Amino acid sequence: MVLLQTWSGMTYLSIICFFSLALYLKSKNKVITYWPIVGVLPCLFQNAHRVHDWTVDIANTYGLTKLERGPFFARLELLFTCDPHNVEYITKTNFSNYPKGQEYNKVFRILGDGLFNSDFELWRGLRNLARTAFVSNNFSSMVSSLSKKVVEDELVPLLSGLAKTSSSIDLEDIFLSYTFDLIFIAIFGRNPKCLCRNSSNHEFVKAMDDGLEAVFLRHVTPPFWWKLCRFLMIGEEKKLQNAWETIDRFMAQYIELKKQDLLQGQQEQADLLSTYISFQKEGKKFSSGGDKFLRDSALTLLFAGRDTTGSALSWFFYSVLTNPIVETNIMEELINVYIKKSSFGNAEKAKFPFVFDSEDLKGLVYLHASLCEVLRLYPSVPINRKAVLREDVLPDGTKVKPGMTIIISMYAMARMESIWGKDCFEFKPERWIADNGKFKSDNMNKFFTFGSGPRTCVGRDFAFTIMKSAAAAILFNFRMEVVKGHVVYPRPSLVLRMKNGLSVNIKPRFE
């Protein structure tokens, strides 16, 4: 009898395994396959290593909007969309109905109650504080001079030295250090010198990277799973907890240093943390949370600025170096600026290596168009996530209801022929330039890299200043080429980093 029961159990198990294997083999050539009990989760795991390109496959197979259901035990409904009309409606027209949501807040809990992670009244208050800080004349002026200083004193000398001693370098790693230094100075008023290889802040940077990776995995795994791992303190959740503790330790240290600076009479500092401390002293609304408020605000700005700008610069150079005509056109603009500067009796200022200031870079249409094209094709934040408060109908007729999670893919949007034309996969700055040679703003209604509506990125101009300063100086002073055989591919992450970095050969342009 026992033998028969054992045989019967093995038979059922064999049947289940057979059908599961058959379904798996059948699903290998399908974009999405619905599995018993677990829904589309196996497809998600199967495509996790290429999640951004998978969103392109989904849109090309099922259309710009697709409703998915998760495993029955999770009661999860996902709405995927890359339709620009839907995105504008969600982020702008009916903005109040599509908050980040409680689940989003839980996933990004490491950021606390900062601007990126908040909704409703809290968000509005923090947004007003951030806008006030960013639009101040002192801060804008500081960013312009700071960008040139870091490029001139640290970035260009580093690359000059590497051009003499190294056969190849990882540009992505350098750009992440460059943007970390700049953002950190803008926030805390002190230079962490991550461009120097012996910086003591590398532990802090590694903790940020670990935290970002763990948060991404929370996005692509069911909540019950990462919450179980957090309870057991295993895997990525253990790494996240360790990163969190390291980040808190460094943040407390730098907040205390800033307070000491201000107590010693250094009151005229234009850095953002000084401004936020000033908000606290003035009793501004939403700024009474002590050091936690300062920690959450500063950390949000650091996370938002460092990886996004660094990755954008990496994709910019990859795109330019693999499109020589684009590099030639940018160089033509830069050389014209250099000639004008040197012809007006500024020969001393125009010596090599030459670094452009913010005034030099104004009006460079082709450089600006190239950066916009990079951000279109390789959006720094390729996927956005929204919740639904009330039942609604999107512009394409899709019905949404409370409890749904909306996944917006800017990465897929850039690769849709119906949106950008048959040349959508091409890196083509000319699509941003009108016949009269001026910047073409018509495309902005389908360009959501910096968000849209009330949540449009407050640091947009800051980011362009940082990118232009580095891009112009590096292209003008150095010749580079991507190392032969080096594979560049998007890394599965919240910010569009490169899986293998960006290895390039470098040498001075003018010797």
Distance CA 360, CA 279 (A): 34
372 annotated as a binding-site residue:
no
**Tokens linked to 41:** 């989760």
- Phi, psi (5° rounding) for residue 452? -155, 155
- Choose among 247, 276, 234, 221: nearest CA to 106: 221
| Residue pLDDT, tens place only, 367-384 | 999 999 999 999 999 999
| Residue pLDDT, tens place only, 190-242 | 999 888 866 667 889 999 999 999 998 888 777 888 899 999 999 999 999 99
The ranges assigned to domains in the chain are: 31-508
**Tokens linked to 12:** 């059922």
- Give the pLDDT of residue 414: 97
* Residue at token pair 């897929």: 412
Q: What is the pTM of this model?
A: 0.90
What average pLDDT does this structure show over 21-33? 55
Cα Rg of the chain (Å, integer): 25
Higher per-residue pLDDT: 136 or 497:
497
Could you give the angle at the alpha carbon of 203 between the alpha carbons of 245 and 487, nearest 5°? 120
Distance CA 156, CA 311 (A): 18
- Give the pLDDT of residue 14: 42
| Residue pLDDT, tens place only, 242-263 | 999 999 999 999 999 999 888 8
Helix (H) or strand (E) holding 482: strand 478-482
* Residue at token pair 């909306």: 406
Burial call 468-487: b when 16+ CB within 10 Å, e when fewer: bbbbbbbbbbbbbebeeebe
| pLDDT range class, residue 43, cuts 50, 70, 90 | confident
- The class that CATH gives domain 31-508 is mainly alpha
Whether pLDDT at 447 is above 70: yes
Question: Could you give the count of Cα atoms lying within 13 Å of 504 in the half-sphere of its Cβ?
Answer: 26
What average pLDDT does this structure show over 105-122? 89
Distance CA 53, CA 385 (A): 17
- Give the pLDDT of residue 146: 92
- Phi, psi (5° rounding) for residue 494? -65, -35
Beta-carbon contacts of residue 337 (< 8 Å; ≥ 6 apart): 356, 360, 361, 364
Question: In whole numbers, what is the pLDDT of the chain averaged over residues?
Answer: 86
Integer CA distances (angstroms), 300 to 8, 111, 384, in order: 57, 6, 16
